[in-house]
Each structure stands twice: as C-alpha cells, then as structure tokens.
Structure 1
Amino acid sequence: MSTSTITNPVSAAAAHEISRRRTFAIISHPDAGKTTLTEKLLLYGGAIGLAGSVTSKKEQQSTSSDWMAMEKERGISVSSTVLQFEYNDCCVNLLDTPGHHDFSEDTYRVLSAVDAAVMVIDAGKGIEAQTLKLFDVCRRRGVPIFVFVNKMDRPSRPPLELLDELEKVLKLAPAPVNWPLGDGERFRGVYDREKAEVNLFERTTGGTFKAPLEVAGIEDDKVREALSDDLYETVTQEVELLDGLTEPLEIDRVLAGEQMPIYFGSAMNNFGVQNMLESFLQMAPPPAGRVSDGKMVEPNTDSFSGFVFKIQANMNPRHRDRAVFIRIVSGVFERDMQVVDQRSGKKVRLANAQKLFGQDRETLDTAYAGDILALVGNYNFLIGDTLTSAPKVVYKEMPRFTPECFTYIVNKDTANIKRYRSGMEQLMKEGVAQAYHVHGSLQAVPMLGAVGPLQFEVLQARLIAEYGVETRLEHSPWSVVQWFDEHEPDPLRRDRNAPKVHLPTGSAIARDQDGQWVVLLSSKYMLGVLHDRNDHLTFRDHAYGEE
C-alpha cells in the first residue's frame, strides 16, 4: 500500500495543529455511565461550568450532550453528539454516542470518524451484550480501546474477576493503569501503578467526594488509616499479584489493538476521571489517515478531504436547518473554500461552517485533519459522501446495516401531507431508518426498516415536535431481509430466460432506497426455505457495505 495519494505537505503550523488533535468516542452498554463520564471530561476541560447528571431528569440542569426533548425526558442518549475542548495542549474532539441498542447504527457510523474509543464498563455487571457488539466494530475498524470501569462507589464485582472477564471476552491483554481501593461504601480511592501513588478520596456527609489527596505510596500511614485492616491487606496483595498477572503497558501494543489500558473509578463522583483523561491523552493516537482506492491519504497532505458520517436535522428548530457532520481526513478547512462532492461530481462552497457543542454553535473559520466539521444549511449531502479538493479521492467508510424490524409510518391528517413529506425526507437523510418499496403494496408510503423499534418512536416524536405532524405505526409481517447478489438479474423482469425466483409463503420482493432488489421474509426459518428453493441464485445479508 502506498503511504499517500498526495505528496505535498501542509505548513509546519498546520502540522502542529493536526498533531494536537485527539478524536475519540465513548461507547458502552445503556446505563453504564457513558454520558455522565462525558460530562465530567468536559468539566475538567473547562468546557462547562456544571456537569449535568442524566439521572436528574426532573431538574432544569441537563447534560450538554443530550439535547433532544426525548433524550431529556427519558434520560438516555439517542443521538451522537460532537463536543470539542482543550486540555493540556491537546484539542480534544469527543463524540458521545447512543448506548441504546436501537441506535447502534448511529454509533457504528461515529466509530468510522474516530481514532480511539473509551469503553465504559459497569463494575457491578461487567461486559454486557451491547458492549461486546460495539467492541467487535472497534476491532473490525482497528480502533484502539481504552477501558473505564465505572461505578466503583457502588457494590462491584471483584476487580481481579473483572480483569479476567475483560481478557477472556475481548481477547486483549489487560494493562491496569490504576487499581481500586475497595468498592461500594468501602471505596477509598485508586492506586496509580505507574506513579506508585495512592489517590485517596474522602466522602462528605452529602455522599459526594472531596478532591483527591495524593499520597507518596501504598505503605504510607495515611493509606493505612483510610483503609480497614482487611481491605488494606486485600489491596496490597492484589497490587503485588498484578505484576505477575499482567504485562507492562506498551503504547505500541495499545495502538495496534493488542493491549487495553484499564482505569477504575466513578464518573458520578469524579473518582479517577482526571487521571484517566490525562493518561488517555498521552497514549491516544493523533489523527489517522483513511484509505482511498487502496492508497492511504495521510492527514498532513495539503489537499482537503473528508467524509460525511452524520446528518442531523432541526438542531435549531426555528431555522429548520440541517447539520452535516464531516470527519476531516486531510489538510486544512477554510471557510468559503470550494470542494467537490464526489457522489454528484458537483463543486460546493462550504460557507456556513460551525463548531457545535451539543446544541450550541459558533462560526468556524479554520479546522484541521482530525476535527469534526459541522456544515449548517441546506447542503444536499448524504451520509458517506466524500468532499475533497483533490481529484480521485473517495472514501468508503460507511457501513450498511441489516434492519431487524419493519413498519410503515402513516400520516394521520392529509391536510399535513406537505409537512409530512418534508419531515420524512429530512429525517430519512439522517440515516435513522432505511426505506423499502414493496412490489405490489397498496401503501402510498415506503416501508421503513431499522435496527430497533425505538427508532420508529423517535421518528414519530420528531415529526410531531419538529414538523407538527401526527402519525401512526402500521407494522409489517416481515422481520428478515435478504439482498439479491448484485450480479443477479432483475427478479421481476419478464425475460423468459431469466432465472425464476421461488418465494416462500408470506414473503415479498422489494427495492431498497438505493434501488437494489431484496426479499422480505416473515422469520429466520423462512431464510433457509428461500435458500433451499433458490440454490441457483446468490443472496447476501448485506450487513456491511464493504463486504
């Protein structure tokens, strides 16, 4: 593979700015504390004055990263959010992602735009199904993983047991950066293995914790006083065991996806969060390039390039605008610059570029490789589009996912048909769901497919809140989809020589939003029937676009 498709480097000043960038996502199972950790990282970065808790739903203070009405109402993240702040001479681009299973497709797209990921684990539950699913995507994309074991201030599983599970399930060498001193009511702090220092925390009467008190070593009298005799003995034994059970932390192995740094703490009470942030920024990689036509485009090349990984409509409902999120892969962005949208071949002037902080925004004049650029306006971009000033650069970063549930979202009032169509068109461009045109259907609207049913609830809620359109759901009888191989002929054409498709009972043929033919089936059992009856045809799951 070539080292670069472009040879001219950026200026020294731009190269320095690019080297300062750290772009990462926080991923987890729902309720592991991901959004709370995000808020506390922003607090340390000076980006917010007060970290809002997602558990305080009834209070006016809400999290910076959760801005939709539905997010504030339910206390969950349903949309990925981009947040940028400065810390220790690093410019940090932090992407908070949905933890709920139904929004995993949005999370997968975000993972195409980051260079590292912090995985949040609930200390009482360990690795959960959604966590493992997201980790598999990180492994597929070669994204380095850093682990934050959260909620140590609550009753937790033994840390050695958690360490063993992480190693067995994720198949990465564990490298604990710190070690917890107890859990639940007995949680007293963390031991920094690299510095050989103990950070003691003192509980206040309100249940929160005072700032950490750094102590020179684990054998210090203050540590002995803070821990009960049996806890002190347990901790010292575990710290000694770690040297024999784990390998030394090596940054090269972390970046190669062979080793995972592990941190213990409590995001809710700022236990170990600052330690994790500082350590992470030292080890996390600077912006990485992306592959175009088998060649690597490096960040420091002077031609601008990037790809659209997210579209969000109505972030400012008063203006009915759309925000197009672009990961800058190479070069420097300057406001009003002209680029080519490789999908359409058209030149586009990037005028209204903004830096977003949740729902807040400010005009952006310059951005660098590694940054997340938000273009606000009526740009006719789609998810996956490549924008570039260099010819022949095209990125194919966006995965394609197989829906697991299908329904129709039907307008209740024909008087609102224009608003309904406008709303559906805008929201579908965000990639929230996929559209299917079922052959022979009596429905006037396309059927929608999504990873989970909560996606449809979000669509309905946003149609009401943002467009004033009430809808109803009409569920379909199908739950499985199979794509015809791209080399197969049109299954509906009347050419007598074309192979005939033998459909199982209750199935149907449809076109997806890209015009590809699919078969819709009522169950996974019918999947076997379809393949048995059509061994002369080739089908695919189409779980990922590049496969």
Structure 2
Amino acid sequence: MTRTLNLGIVAHVDAGKTSLTERLLYAAGVIDTVGSVDKGSTQTDSLDLERQRGITIKAAVVSFTLGDVTVNLIDTPGHPDFIAEVERVLNVLDGAVLVVSAVAGVQAQTRVLMRALHRLGIPTLVFVNKMDRPGAQGEALLPSLAERLAPAVIDRGSVFFGSAITGQGITELVDGITNLLPAAAGDGPVSGMVFKVERGKAGEKIAYVRMFAGSIRVRERLDCGKVTALAVFDHGTAVRRPVVTAGEIAKVWGLDVRIGDSVGEPRRGQRRHFSPPTLETVVVPARPAERGALHAALAQLAEQDPLINLRLDELREETALSLYGEVQKEVIQATLVADYGIEAVFRETTMICVERLNGTGAAVEHVGGSGNPFYATVGLRIEQSAIDSGVTYRLGVELGAMPLAYFAAIEETVRSTLDQGIHGWRVTDCVVTVTHVKFVPPITAAADFRNLTPLVLMAALARAGTTVHEPTHSFRLEVPADVLGQVLAALARLRAVPRTTAVTGASALVEGGIPATNVHGLQRELPALTRGEGVLESTFDTYEPVNGIIPRRPRSDHNPLHRKEYLLHVVRRT
C-alpha cells in the first residue's frame, strides 16, 4: 500500500539545501541530470530572481516516489529574512531533513529552525552535507550537533553524512526518509490548511493546501468558495485531478483564502508562531504616474505573505511596507521590476514601534454639546491590559440602546483609530469600553459615529498617556575571547544590552538584547570585529520602552489629536 510523506528540506542559507533536493529528485528518477544552484538550473528554484541570486525565496513543491512512499518534497528558503515563509511550511509537514554544512557546522539559522521543528513536534533527520569539501568535520561534528541543536532529538541514528554534489550518503538518507519518518494520516471531516498563495497567468488566485483529513472535489462548495480546479504534484509537475484526499498537497483554484486559513475544519492544536516584522520602509514609484499600479502590485505581494503589511498614507500619497530585513527589501524591489515592470524607490528602513498605555483615560462627546457637529453621543474609556493581549473592545451600555450598525461603526473606528496613537504608532495591549451612546432618529447616520469616535478615543488616549516601545531581538553571540572588549564596545554603541558574558578557553559567549533596527548593523560589523569568526543568532523577543529621543511616525489620518485640524477635513454632509 502506498504511503504519502510530506517532507520539508530546511537549512541555513548556503548549507546545500536546494542541491540536496536536486540530488533526491535525481535518485528518484524525476530528473535526468542534477541541476546546479550556481548555474541557475535547479528544479525548485523556478523564480528568475531565485536563479539569479542562488537562494530560495518561495517554498516550492515537487513529488516523487521512493519505494512504497509518495514524497511531497518542499524546498524552503534558508535566509532569515524569509523565516515566515519557512514557518508556514513547517505546519504542513510530516517530517523534515535539516541540512548542516560539514564545513561551517551549526549556524545561526540552523538553531532557529531546529527549535521550531522541535516545538511543532516534527520528526527530523539531519543531513551533514559537503563532506567532499576541504575542512569537512564529519563525525567530529556530532558533539556540536547534540550540544547546539537538541540533545533529546539528535542521536546517531538520525544523522546522515554525505554530499549532495557527489551523491555520497544519499542512499542511506533515502533509507532513513522511508523507514524513520512517519507517513501522513488523517480521518474525519474535511480539514486542510493554506500555506502558500500565488497568482496564475490570468491573474487567478491559486491556493496551496495541505489536506489533513477528508477530501475535496472539483465543483464542491466550501465555506471559502467553490472549487473550480484541483491539481496535485506528480514527478515534478502539477497534474489536474477531480479529487484530493487526506495527506496530499494540492493546488486549488476558486477559493477566497489567505495564507494560514483553514479549509473545512481547523486542525486541532494548529497555532501560528510567526514573529511580527519589525522594520518598515516607504515605497514610492520612480514614475509618479505608476502610483496606483505600485500599490496594486504591493497588495498582491502582501496577499502572498500576510506578514507583509501595507500602510497607505493618502495625505502624502505614499505606501509603507513592513519587512523582516534588507535582503527581503531587495527581493521585493527586484520582483516589482521583473514581474510588474515597475521601478520603485525604497527609502531608508526604520523600525516599527508600538505604544502602550501609562494609565486609564476617559472622554465623552454629547450630541448637541458645544463643539460637537455630529448627531451622535460617544463615550469611551481606555485602560491597560496584559502584555501581548492586543486590543479588547467591550460594551458598557445596553446593546439595544441603538441600531447594531451604529455599534459596528464605533467598533470598526476604534480599531482603525488605534493604528495611530499619540506618537503615530499602533496602540496595543489595552481595553476600550463604550460608556455612552445616543442617536437622533431619523437624522443620525453611521458616519456620525465614525467621525466622532476618533475625537473621543484620542482625547481618552491623551489622558491615559502612552509610552513608545521599540522592537528588540534576543541575541546569542560567539566570538574569539581576545576580541571580546572590542565586541562589547560595539554592542554598547548599537544600544545592545548584554545580560550574560562567559569566556571558555579561546572563545566567549555573549547573550542579551538589541534593538531590532541595529541587528543589521551588528551583522555588518561582526566579520571585521572578529576576523570572520563571530557567529550571531538573533530572534524577535519583545518590545521595550524607548530610551532617549522618542521616535514619531508621520500621521496618515486627519489627526484627531488636533480638533480644529480634524474638523476641517471631516465635515458632516446633510
């Protein structure tokens, strides 16, 4: 009986992940020759940009057979700027192969990936690649694997050695994949998850769905739309099928979905672990006439990556884009030229801060009151809530006090207004309670509540006060002990805060926190500071209060903090 295994190949950039994918496809008879990353001839790096840069940017799926196992193999990005793409894929895997360079050993992204695999409970094999290279460590690397990855997970039986280029060790790895990793299984009602979205040649949306249970058919109606076509992966190509079943990965046409959405019943225990993007850049077209086309193109790219947020500043006619890093910015810039024919200018990258409340504030505007030009009464109270709780909205009045559409207008406006606090940053970790409402039939419209609510909410927010918090990363830095002094000085200059420093023989380990905006600077300085021997790991940790000059974000609304200015722009039409 044929089994299905959804297998992920993950690694630090340049460990040989895509080359291993090519070698496995060759071993399975899917391709006649092994493609080369350097020559841009690989099966899974199909984007022109991937071939040019020699890195994987988007997850790619190919299928092949190993004995009685049908393998859906997913090649994922290795660069940390694309970690969100990787984490989405991890949620749909049955097993994984973590590729480690025999020359470079365990690298920063290797540890990040292993922690994610362990957290999600995904059975993992380790393939130590590049054993044909000078300086390859071989089995001498085992103690480092056990110490720096996960001792409970890494044992000799799950570690394989070889070379994706020469084919050494591939037979043993294939045996490990078929015998040690579990096949897909699932019973029950229809349950699947969207892990990738792309657009077809005609602009149609295509969803990549991992089916956990049940089956879906062409022309079947689901909550998220009617299935118009289905395809599964078979020996390197997508083949149309009338039905897909549990365990399979399918391309599905006709669904109105985003990445992370469930198809049918949500999978039990399914959680998202994505760290938020902490950087932002303003994007403007090189040719002003293409402003609308640029925003539409960015909207499509954001659809493919829900963690890329767009913020439209209509007052300045600019679009801000959230990011994970500089390489991602360069890739988006190149994609706009290659796929949309749009040349865009990306301004200097800045960090994305948040505002948290200092206390409690309340305000109310009564209909007919002095200075209130709207036919509505709104009262709001805003107060602190737990860290990472987001925004909670509550009613402190009777639901029957006025039509539901007016309550909906207040809630929608509260949430959108909190996108820009006193200093222009998103306000989070707070509770907003409606304390007063009144309307005047038949004159009042929902627009009265939409226009009045920002004035009331910002007045309450000003009374509560806010503190700007900047995103910080936790870091782990290994350096030669003899350059520790210079490294600590550089960390101080970059506003990093070391929490622990330990020296063991000729090496030193520093752990602490650093503002997200300075991580790239540390990465850039590290080779010169440490003779190329420094190893840096960093991941988003939390938001910390800003010390020193408070950063402000230019407002893109009509500024309800300044009443006269706001009312000049927001006039009730009768």
Q: The TM-score by the shorter chain falls in which range?
A: 0.5 to 0.7
Q: Given the superposition, is the C-alpha separation of residues 425 and 505 from structure 1 closer, same or farther in structure 2, using an over 3 Å criterion?
A: closer
Equivalent position of 2:300 in the other structure: 426
User: For residues 250 and 549 of structure 2, what CA distance do their matches in structure 1 show?
Assistant: 49
Letter in 2 for 1:325: Y
User: For residues 101 and 64 of structure 1, what CA distance do their matches in structure 2 show?
Assistant: 22
Local SS of the residue matching 1:133: helix
User: For residues 265 and 393 of structure 1, what CA distance do their matches in structure 2 show?
Assistant: 37
Matches within 5 A, 1:432-471: 433-435=307-309, 437=311, 442-471=315-344
User: For residues 267 and 276 of structure 2, what CA distance do their matches in structure 1 show?
Assistant: 28
Q: Given the superposition, is the C-alpha separation of residues 50 and 404 from structure 1 closer, same or farther in structure 2, using an over 3 Å criterion?
A: same
Count of matched residue positions in the alignment of Structure 1 and Structure 2: 394
Q: 1:165 aligns with which of 105, 126, 144?
A: 144
Is 1:274 equivalent to 2:238 in the alignment? Answer: no
Letter in 1 for 2:98: M
Equivalent position of 1:375 in the other structure: 252
Equivalent position of 2:374 in the other structure: none
User: For residues 258 and 295 of structure 2, what CA distance do their matches in structure 1 show?
Assistant: 18
Local SS of the residue matching 2:89: helix
User: For residues 175 and 301 of structure 2, what CA distance do their matches in structure 1 show?
Assistant: 38
User: For residues 341 and 461 of structure 2, what CA distance do their matches in structure 1 show?
Assistant: 51
Q: Given the superposition, is the C-alpha separation of residues 465 and 322 from structure 1 closer, same or farther in structure 2, using an over 3 Å criterion?
A: farther
Equivalent position of 1:537 in the other structure: none
Is 1:404 equivalent to 2:290 in the alignment? Answer: no
Q: Given the superposition, is the C-alpha separation of residues 533 and 32 from structure 1 closer, same or farther in structure 2, using an over 3 Å criterion?
A: closer
Cα shift at 1:278: 2.0
Q: String of CA shifts for 1:347-404, please: whole Å, max 9, x gaps.
A: x221221235799533122322221111246x4211121111x5x8787443332213
Cα shift at 1:96: 0.2
Equivalent position of 1:351 in the other structure: 228
Cα shift at 1:48: 1.6
Matches within 5 A, 1:110-259: 110-173=89-152, 174-177=154-157
Local SS of the residue matching 1:136: helix
Larger mean CA deviation between 39-48 and 155-164 belongs to 155-164
Cα shift at 1:418: 4.1
Local SS of the residue matching 2:155: strand
Q: String of CA shifts for 1:96-139, please: whole Å, max 9, x gaps.
A: 00011111110011001101110001011110001111111111
Cα shift at 1:528: 3.9
TM-score, normalization: structure 2? 0.62
Q: Given the superposition, is the C-alpha separation of residues 458 and 41 from structure 1 closer, same or farther in structure 2, using an over 3 Å criterion?
A: same
Local SS of the residue matching 2:52: helix
Q: Given the superposition, is the C-alpha separation of residues 50 and 320 from structure 1 closer, same or farther in structure 2, using an over 3 Å criterion?
A: farther
Cα shift at 1:63: 0.6
Q: Given the superposition, is the C-alpha separation of residues 110 and 275 from structure 1 closer, same or farther in structure 2, using an over 3 Å criterion?
A: same
User: For residues 309 and 402 of structure 1, what CA distance do their matches in structure 2 show?
Assistant: 17
Q: Given the superposition, is the C-alpha separation of residues 393 and 279 from structure 1 closer, same or farther in structure 2, using an over 3 Å criterion?
A: closer
Equivalent position of 1:300 in the other structure: 187
Cα shift at 1:272: 1.1
Local SS of the residue matching 2:132: coil
Letter in 2 for 1:500: A
Equivalent position of 2:24 in the other structure: 41
Q: 2:191–2:211: 8 Å Cα contact kept in structure 1?
A: yes
Equivalent position of 2:60 in the other structure: 81
Runs of 4 or more above 6 Å deviation: 392-395, 520-526, 531-534
User: For residues 428 and 106 of structure 1, what CA distance do their matches in structure 2 show?
Assistant: 12
User: For residues 484 and 76 of structure 1, what CA distance do their matches in structure 2 show?
Assistant: 37
Bigger strand share:
2
Give RMSD over aligned pairs: 3.4
Matches within 5 A, 1:321-360: 321-341=204-224, 348-356=225-233, 360=237
Task: Indicate the structure whose relative CO is greater, using CA pairs within 8 Å and at least 6 residues apart.
Answer: 1
User: For residues 59 and 257 of structure 2, what CA distance do their matches in structure 1 show?
Assistant: 18
User: For residues 258 and 268 of structure 2, what CA distance do their matches in structure 1 show?
Assistant: 14
Q: Given the superposition, is the C-alpha separation of residues 428 and 527 from structure 1 closer, same or farther in structure 2, using an over 3 Å criterion?
A: closer
Is 1:64 equivalent to 2:64 in the alignment? Answer: no
Q: String of CA shifts for 1:131-186, please: whole Å, max 9, x gaps.
A: 11111111111111100011111123443431001111123254334xxxxxxxxx
Q: 2:346 aligns with which of 462, 465, 473?
A: 473
Letter in 1 for 2:335: R
User: For residues 469 and 279 of structure 2, what CA distance do their matches in structure 1 show?
Assistant: 19
> Could you tell me the percent identity over the aligned residues?
28
Q: Which runs of 5+ in 2 are unaligned?
A: 356-387, 393-429, 433-453, 472-514, 520-540, 551-574
Q: Which runs of 5+ in 1 are unaligned?
A: 1-15, 178-260, 289-298, 342-347, 508-519, 535-547
Local SS of the residue matching 1:351: strand
Cα shift at 1:92: 0.5
User: For residues 467 and 350 of structure 1, what CA distance do their matches in structure 2 show?
Assistant: 28
Local SS of the residue matching 1:350: strand
User: For residues 121 and 506 of structure 1, what CA distance do their matches in structure 2 show?
Assistant: 34
Equivalent position of 1:362 in the other structure: 239
Q: 2:9–2:98: 8 Å Cα contact kept in structure 1?
A: yes
Q: Given the superposition, is the C-alpha separation of residues 505 and 355 from structure 1 closer, same or farther in structure 2, using an over 3 Å criterion?
A: closer
Q: Which structure's CA Rg is the greater one?
A: 2
Letter in 2 for 1:140: R
Letter in 1 for 2:160: Y
Local SS of the residue matching 2:464: coil
Local SS of the residue matching 1:23: strand
Is 1:414 equivalent to 2:288 in the alignment? Answer: yes
Q: 1:123–1:150: 8 Å Cα contact kept in structure 2?
A: yes
User: For residues 47 and 313 of structure 1, what CA distance do their matches in structure 2 show?
Assistant: 26
Q: Given the superposition, is the C-alpha separation of residues 496 and 69 from structure 1 closer, same or farther in structure 2, using an over 3 Å criterion?
A: closer
Letter in 2 for 1:268: I
Letter in 1 for 2:20: L
Q: Given the superposition, is the C-alpha separation of residues 441 and 415 from structure 1 closer, same or farther in structure 2, using an over 3 Å criterion?
A: closer
Letter in 2 for 1:175: D
Local SS of the residue matching 1:285: coil
Q: 1:384–1:396: 8 Å Cα contact kept in structure 2?
A: no
Equivalent position of 1:27 in the other structure: 10
